[in-house]
């Protein structure tokens, strides 16, 4: 119902999806000018979705929005990256034979500082809030914090190594952790109900997940791809059936309680 938490989560996932789309373009396009144009804002988008991850976790724990001065701080932290990216300073050169750009070293270091601060903040805020929230909410924030920290740390480490070595293929390894992050978040959304979704929302989420994973069968190129896709699809089916069964049972129990209460 367009709650604050769902809006922040939407912007977080949208910004990360935008980064993924840009990353795909830089790996697949043969147009040098297009690659440079898309590559230039990627570090800024990186900073944005890290800050939105922190914003999302704060809103989840507090169950309300942050105050104006805290929003100003978040915007201020992203401003240097925005200025460098859109003033043409985020790329210092281009390796034409390799189709790879040379990133601004200051922006790389600044991005690293933001990433470390966000991960440290989520971890500290998680421990600080754990004993202060209700018992039923502790499991909720723990699952989400673990998912965020695991994903962001993996992304940060591979991004840093790729930026320092110039071997950008290393950054692809961070995406291996993405399915685990998604599983934790989906578990929190459905079983822990951080968005108060019911049966329909869970069904829709499950079907979309199965369709996305199943579509990979059309792009298989070798035996390794086939094995990984079959395993992923099997795990998705198992998780989907389990989630739907659990939510269905919870919904039946809820309706039964409401009926008894009305009688």
Report which DSSP code applies to 241: H
Question: How many whole angstroms separate alpha carbon 133 and alpha carbon 125?
Answer: 12
DSSP of 151-179: HHHHHHHHHHHHHHHS-GGGGGGGGGGHH
DSSP codes, 70-88: HHHHHHHHHHHHHHHHHTT
Q: What is the mean pLDDT of residues 100-112?
A: 84
- In sequence order, which residues have a C-beta less than 8 Å from that of residue 198 and are 6 or more positions away? 247, 251
What is the reported pTM? 0.71
* 180 or 84, which is more confident: 84
Token pair of 201, please?
A: 């929302």
Mean pLDDT of 215-243: 73
Neighbours of 228 (CB within 10 A): 12
pLDDT digits (tens, 9 = 90+) for 107-122: 888 999 999 999 999 9
Only one residue has tokens 């389990």, namely: 242
Residues 182-217: tens digit of each pLDDT: 677 767 666 656 665 555 566 666 777 777 777 777
Closest CA to 144 of 12, 258, 36, 38: 12
Q: In whole angstroms, what is the distance from residue 50 CA to residue 54 CA?
A: 7
Residues 61-73 have pLDDT tens digits of: 888 888 888 889 9
> 9-23, 45-59, 234-248 — which is least confidently predicted?
234-248
């Amino acid at each position: 119902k367009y709650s604050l938490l769902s809006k922040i989560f939407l912007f977080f996932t949208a910004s990360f999806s935008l980064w993924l789309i840009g990353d795909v373009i830089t790996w697949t396009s043969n147009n040098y000018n297009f690659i440079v144009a898309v590559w230039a804002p990627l570090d800024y988008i990186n900073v944005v979705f890290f800050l939105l991850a922190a914003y999302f976790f704060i809103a989840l724990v507090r169950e309300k929005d942050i105050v104006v001065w805290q929003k100003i701080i978040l915007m201020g932290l992203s401003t240097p990256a925005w200025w460098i990216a859109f003033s043409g300073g985020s790329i210092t050169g281009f390796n034409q034979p390799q189709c790879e750009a040379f990133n601004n070293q200051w922006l790389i270091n600044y991005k690293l500082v933001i990433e470390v601060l966000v991960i440290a903040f989520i971890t500290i805020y998680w421990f600080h809030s754990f004993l202060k929230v209700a018992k039923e909410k502790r499991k909720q924030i723990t699952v989400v914090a673990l998912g965020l920290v695991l994903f962001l740390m993996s992304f940060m480490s591979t991004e840093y190594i790729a930026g320092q070595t110039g071997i950008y293929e290393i950054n692809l390894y961070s995406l291996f952790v993405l399915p685990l992050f998604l599983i934790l978040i989906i578990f929190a959304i459905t079983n822990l109900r951080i968005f108060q979704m019911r049966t329909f929302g869970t069904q829709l989420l499950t079907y979309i997940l199965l369709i996305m994973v199943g579509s990979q069968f059309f792009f298989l190129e070798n035996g390794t791809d086939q094995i990984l896709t079959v395993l992923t699809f099997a795990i998705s089916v198992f998780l989907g059936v389990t989630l739907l069964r659990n939510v269905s049972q919870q919904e039946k129990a809820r309706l039964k309680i409401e009926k008894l209460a009305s009688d």
